[in-house]
Structures are given as structure tokens and as C-alpha cells.
Amino acid sequence: MTDKSIADRGLIKSRSSRPARGGAAAPRRLLQPLGLPWVLPALVFTIGVIYFGVGYTGYASTLDWNGLSPNPPSVGAGNYIRIFQDPVFWQSLQHTVVFFVVGFVIQTALGITFAVLLHSKVKFAVIYKIIIFVPVVLAPAIMAPVFRQFYGANGQFNWLLDHIGLGFLTQPWLAQSSTALGVIIAIQIWQFTGLTFVLYFAAMGQIDTEVLEAARIDGASNLRILVSIIWPGVWGTTVALAMLTAIGSLKTFDIPYLVTIGGPNFSTEFLGTYIYRISIPQAHVGYGSALSVLLLILALTMAILLQSGGREKKGKNL
């Protein structure tokens, strides 16, 4: 046997001893953290800023702190006990519940109605879509002076009521407790119905048109199609909107603060405006932190309950 043949056999043996692609070497590649460098910045930001902020807020909620003193005394669960004895907190929570229920029901009704109408053959549909969606992109800080003027005692809304024969309804809408909350809810509905409409419009586009045509051939009316086909088909969107509206209601701040500053007589006070009022102007940062922690718990609880209820309802429909 020549040296060349021995070398060739050795080369063949060494090549055959190497693991084939996708063989034993594959698990080693799977164990390599190839995506970790890409995820690490977001992970550091999430843990270092968001979760650290939540944890520090929880720590601050156990202190009697004004936000400046270096060594604030600890009060333990005193701030949380104080919350449940605070009438303004319960009033704010009640406003939040009313804000969520009324706003969600009306926005859902308007959004699905607009979506159904614009899915039919309507002229100038693009223009209507833009008109409905424009309020979503307008900043509340820009619109707040407009709404204060519009709903003022000498504003355009009262002027309109006078000129259509409803002058007996004119009143200072933002200056009295009985109507101020209704005005805030109306502004919220005006601003976010466009978002509800867009989501429903997209969801309806995923419904099989053959099912709708078969229902029409069977003699189903438009109302029957809406109730039996379209509404179950957009149920997932409804659950998502319910969660967004609930969480948005719990942390709402800009519209009530910019339009009424939570007044008059706390009639438009929400948890967000109350936390700001307690923490910044009144400098009770420890108590405001306790309110913030409770707000986070309420938001997570609401999201879990709505998600669970949505899954059960979807399972029954299936």
C-alpha cells in the first residue's frame, strides 16, 4: 500500500468523522444566544426603566414623602389605608366606571355603524373615513380651549340650542357638577370613535363575503346579518377595544384636566387627575405613589377579566 493511498484513506476517514449538517452540531447552534444582542437593549430598557420605576413607586408608596426630603419617614401600609377612607378617591373611581361604560357603549355603537355603512356602496367613502378619523389625530391640548369656548355659558353650543328652538336647555355646561362629566364623556366619544371605526372596518374586511352572500340568498335581513354574522365576526376586536377603553379610562388625564381641571367640586375628577393633584401641587408624593400602584393593579385586573370573558364568549360562539 503506497503512502498516497494511506493518506487518501486517512483523509476519507477524517471527512467521514465530521458531523453532517443538521446532525450533532445543530443542537450546539441552537444553544447559542444569536438573538440576545438584539433583544438586550430593549430588555435593559424594560427592566431598568419601567420595572424599576414600578418597584420604586411601590417603595415610595410606603413613605410619607413630599418628593424632596432626603429621609422621609415610613408609614407602611398607612397610605393604602388612607385611600379606602378617601371620599375623593371613591368619587374618582365612580367617574371612571361611568366614563368607561358610557363611552365604550356609544363608541362601539357608532364605530360599528360607520363601519357597516362604509363597507356598503357609498359615494365619497374616502372623504367620510377621513372626517371620522380626523379627531383621533388632534391633540387634546389644542382642542381643550375650543371645547371650553364651545360649551361655555355664552358658547356656540348654547347659541345653537337657541337657534333651533331649544333655548330652554341652555346652561353653563362646564360650570355645574350635574353636566360637566357628561361633557367630558361627549368629548372623549368625539375624539376616539374614529379609532373604533377603523378597527371595526378592518375586522369586517376579514369576514368571508361568500357567507354574507349566502345569508342574503337565504333571505336574511340586514339586521339579522349584523347580529348573527358580523357581530360574532368582530368579537375579538370588541374585546380588544374594551380592554383599551378600560385601561384608557383608568389613566385618563388630558381631557378632564385641560378642560375642567377636575372640577367643579371634583365632578370630573379621575384617578389620573387626582394622582397629579395629590403628587405635584399638594406634594404628597407617597400618597400619590400608593394611588399609582392601586391604579396599576386595577388596570391589570380589568385587562385579565375582559380577556378571560372574551375567550369564554368566543368559545361559546364556536
Q: How confident is the model at residue 32 (pLDDT cuts 50, 70, 90)?
A: low
**Confidence check: pLDDT of 122 > 70:** yes
The ranges assigned to domains in the chain are: 86-317
Instruction: Return the pLDDT at 34.
Output: 66
**Confidence check: pLDDT of 6 > 60:** no
Which DSSP category does 129 fall into?
Answer: H
Q: Could you identify the residue written with the cell 443542537? A: 27
Average confidence (pLDDT) over 240-253 = 91
Average confidence (pLDDT) over 18-43 = 61
Average confidence (pLDDT) over 89-118 = 95
Average confidence (pLDDT) over 232-254 = 91
Percentage of residues in the chain with pLDDT exceeding 90? Answer: 61
Percentage of residues in the chain with pLDDT exceeding 70? Answer: 86
User: Is 177 within 8 Å of 262 (Cβ atoms)?
Assistant: no
**Confidence check: pLDDT of 256 > 80:** yes
**Confidence check: pLDDT of 101 > 70:** yes
pLDDT tens profile 34-76: 677 788 888 888 888 888 889 999 999 999 999 888 889 999 9
User: Is 256 within 8 Å of 269 (Cβ atoms)?
Assistant: yes
Residue 132 contacts by C-beta under 8 Å, 6 or more apart in sequence? 114, 193, 194, 197
d(CA 174, CA 172): 6
**Confidence check: pLDDT of 4 > 80:** no
**Confidence check: pLDDT of 233 > 80:** yes
Instruction: Return the pLDDT at 313.
Output: 62
Instruction: Return the pLDDT at 209.
Output: 86
CATH architecture assignment, domain 86-317: Orthogonal Bundle (1.10)
**Confidence check: pLDDT of 127 > 90:** yes
**Confidence check: pLDDT of 237 > 80:** yes
Instruction: Return the pLDDT at 314.
Output: 59
pLDDT tens profile 184-211: 999 999 999 999 999 999 999 899 888 8
Helix and strand numbers, DSSP H then E, in the chain: 17, 0
Q: Is 98 or 222 the better-scoring residue by pLDDT?
A: 98
Instruction: Return the pLDDT at 316.
Output: 61
**Confidence check: pLDDT of 317 > 80:** no
**Confidence check: pLDDT of 7 > 80:** no
**Confidence check: pLDDT of 280 > 60:** yes
Average pLDDT value over all residues in the chain: 86
d(CA 276, CA 292): 10
Burial of 135 (0-12, 13-18, 19+ CB in 10 A): middle
d(CA 292, CA 257): 17
**Confidence check: pLDDT of 11 > 70:** no
Most confident segment among 23-27, 121-125, 131-135: 131-135
Instruction: Return the pLDDT at 105.
Output: 96
Q: How confident is the model at residue 86 (pLDDT cuts 50, 70, 90)?
A: very high
Instruction: Return the pLDDT at 15.
Output: 46
